[in-house]
Structure 1
Amino acid sequence: MTSKARHIVLAAGGTGGHMVPAEALADALKARGEAVSLVTDMRGDAYRNIMVDIDRMVLRATSHMRGGIIGKVGSVFSIMTSFFAARRYLKKVGATQIVGFGGYPSMPVILAARSLGIPFGLHEQNAVLGRVNRWMAEKASWVALSNANTTLVPEGVQQIHVGNPVRSAVQAIAGNPYQAPEAASVIRLFILGGSQGAHILSREIPSALVALPEYIRMRLIITHQARTEDIDAVKRTYGEAGISANVQSYFDDVASILDDTHLVISRSGASTLAELTATGMPAILVPLAIAADDHQSANAKPLGAKGAAIVMAEPEFRAPALTETLEHILDSDDALSEMAKNMKSFARLDAAERLADTVLNANEETPKAKEITP
């Protein structure tokens, strides 16, 4: 198989945690002259600023985790119809390899690839192999891991540690040195709740910041991502305390904000952590308690153990505890700089290129398997 004959289809959707590394891989593959397209779902398609220049197909697959028997039956039906739609699309574009990024939108694409005898690989962003990737791993040509110590990987699976690719805008600032705030100068905090915001962050953080000593509080400049329904309350709390704050439901210039930030308070989704490690950004991490297999806690644990971040579980993430933590690190001469250095030690800036190498080196000598009728 020559490189000119290849057409690589990426299967990603659901959240930015799947879409961002898929975009980074797409960029790396296109730079090498490869044909790339995307199969996603309606939520993935809503990220209109991601992979805007490649062909895409949008499936109507819905999560098997939806509540109630009606929701689950509807999910099974949507996956079946998406399977046949994906199968037609893969044949239409002449797909030669599939890369799945986990999550339910990738399931019908991988199943379609298996039925057509098209080889596929998987990329796992989190420190716990996701459920869909676990189901598909044993038949995959390879499983690329962001974390070398990822758990729940089935025995006998070919594992490759590549890291978690970050978007090109973040890659571009990764070499910029971290600058801790100087004495009496402004302190810039960036609050990130993931792609959908996080109510607990909007509930506890403003109160915690208001309670800081005045000599710290009046130096703060806040950029806060909040759910739409929380924005007014968050703005009001900051405004009444005289804290300068930009509160929005979504920021499309995360890289430029990170480049001018001193401390991040966020969830510990895999893509967020990849961007924090790439930029060497100190953080207070609040893992999502209901995340499948508690994977956000697993993501955050190594960073907390090495002093790159302070990890606060949801039950302990309350305003008084956060105020105490912030006062300690913001009043220290070197706490933020030390955290930044430790965070940077986790960076894998070549992750997209390593993943592209894995894709292009796989199955070079493997003949296409006989088509299997589903």
Structure 2
Amino acid sequence: MTIAPLVFLAAGGTGGHLFPAEALGVELIKRGLRVRLATDSRALRYSGLFSGGTIDVVPSATVHSRMPWSLAYTGAMLAAGAAVSFNLLRKLRPAAVVGFGGYPTLPPLVAARLFRIPGVIHEANAVLGRANRFLSSHVSAIATSLPGALDRDPKLAGKTTTVGTPLRPAILAAAAVKFVSPEPTGPLRLLVVGGSQGARVMADIVPGAIERLEPALWSRLVLTQQVREEDMMRVRMVYDRLKVTAELAPFFSDLPARLASSHLVISRSGAGTVAELGAIGRPSILVPLPGSIDQDQFVNAGVLVQAKGALRIPQADFTPDRLAAEISALAAEPARLTAMAAGARTIGRLDAAERLADLVMKVAGI
């Protein structure tokens, strides 16, 4: 019996990297191929397509500092990862290696280059990340989620295809839910999320903004907010005092469904968030994470702003007064929310997994 070709996926151990890898894996399996995942130890917290038999932990480290000892540690970990990846690829001989960003993708794709195995990288952000920038000249093809990712590197345009971000089944299901504009005096469903690096600023700013709204709006709000445990009590006290209907939690396992039921989302602008807002088509106020070298979240948010699907507020300007003014204005114009939902939907690509699978199979000659 002929053994099905193997596609080796490599991704950093965060949801932003793992979820697109999993979505591609599901599509490739549908097509009769086998998949394995190379990642770091953080991925072991996630459950899904990949189990102990199809996941390989590859040593890696991220550049956190330019201090000599830090760079030496990162270099040593990446070298160890390269050795592990070299042995894996020599034994498994995959038809292709696909990287989804993050430093854990470096060792497998470098090993693939040495073995002359076709390599593909997928960039979810609107600008190439550091790992993908390094790999871009060493792979057979580059897939991007958002237009403009290679504006800085036009020489790579010939091997670049914009496919979108492969989406989890739960997001695809949520995308089937049509946006229904809020009634002028009816419930206004507000979802506030931020991830581990964003929930703190949301806890600092959003309650004060809600407090500054007209009291008539308090009774309309149906608020869902991601809040860290250490911030839970102070946030809860504000909403209880205002008698605002609010559900607070550090994590929501059914976030796609909550996105679909929202009239307005307040969030960071990571690549996964922007892709999901586009796929589902929901209006948003985006607060890019400051301080990143590439300003990727600022650029990501700009894609939705250009599509008239979002408002972008730099964190320095993200104050209770500013946020209250924006929420009030949007609540008073339901038609504007509807138009923003439609604008966001224009950047959504529901067939991204299929498009990326087509590209991978073409590169691999399958």
TM-score, length of structure 1 as denominator length: 0.92
Measure the CA separation in 2 of the matches of 1:316 and 1:119: 45
Task: List aligned pairs for 1:46-61, cutoff 5 A.
Answer: 46-49=45-48, 51-52=50-51, 55-61=54-60
- CA drift of 1:230 comes to 2.2
Task: List aligned pairs for 1:108-147, cutoff 5 A.
Answer: 108-147=107-146
- The residue type paired with residue 327 of structure 1 is S
Secondary structure of residue in 1 paired with 2:295? helix
* 2:345 counterpart residue number: 344
- The residue type paired with residue 152 of structure 1 is R
* 1:274 counterpart residue number: 275
* 2:306 counterpart residue number: 305
- The residue type paired with residue 250 of structure 2 is S
* Distance of aligned partners of 1:156 and 1:13 in 2 relative to their CA distance in 1, 3 Å threshold: closer
* Identity fraction in percent: 36
Q: Is residue 74 of structure 1 aligned with residue 84 of structure 2?
A: no
Cα RMSD after superposing both structures: 2.0
- The residue type paired with residue 107 of structure 2 is P
- Runs (5+) with no aligned partner, structure 1: 366-374
Cα offsets for 1:183-227 (capped at 9, x unmatched): 322111111113554321221011101211111112112111123
Measure the CA separation in 1 of the matches of 2:4 and 2:257: 38
| Paired positions, count | 364
- CA drift of 1:92 comes to 2.8
- CA drift of 1:13 comes to 1.5
Q: Is residue 189 of structure 1 aligned with residue 206 of structure 2?
A: no
Cα offsets for 1:72-120 (capped at 9, x unmatched): 2211111111111122222233322100011111111111212222211
Q: Is residue 174 of structure 1 aligned with residue 186 of structure 2?
A: no
Measure the CA separation in 2 of the matches of 1:53 and 1:202: 37
Measure the CA separation in 1 of the matches of 2:200 and 2:264: 19
Cα offsets for 1:162-181 (capped at 9, x unmatched): 11111111112212210111
Measure the CA separation in 2 of the matches of 1:50 and 1:334: 40
Task: List aligned pairs for 1:164-313, cutoff 5 A.
Answer: 164-194=165-195, 196-313=197-314
Measure the CA separation in 2 of the matches of 1:44 and 1:153: 31
Q: Is residue 319 of structure 1 aligned with residue 357 of structure 2?
A: no
- CA drift of 1:46 comes to 2.2
- CA drift of 1:53 comes to 8.1
Q: Which stretch has the larger CA shift, 141-150 or 12-21? A: 12-21
Secondary structure of residue in 2 paired with 1:165? coil
Which one has the bigger helix percentage?
2
* Distance of aligned partners of 1:237 and 1:59 in 2 relative to their CA distance in 1, 3 Å threshold: farther
* Distance of aligned partners of 1:60 and 1:46 in 2 relative to their CA distance in 1, 3 Å threshold: farther
- The residue type paired with residue 116 of structure 2 is G
- The residue type paired with residue 207 of structure 2 is P
Q: Is residue 161 of structure 1 aligned with residue 143 of structure 2?
A: no
- CA drift of 1:52 comes to 4.4
Measure the CA separation in 2 of the matches of 1:232 and 1:49: 33
Does the 8 Å CA contact 1:15/1:195 hold for their aligned counterparts? Answer: no
* 2:95 counterpart residue number: 96
- Runs (5+) with no aligned partner, structure 2: none
Measure the CA separation in 2 of the matches of 1:201 and 1:260: 20
* 1:371 counterpart residue number: none
Measure the CA separation in 2 of the matches of 1:279 and 1:30: 25
TM-score, length of structure 2 as denominator length: 0.94
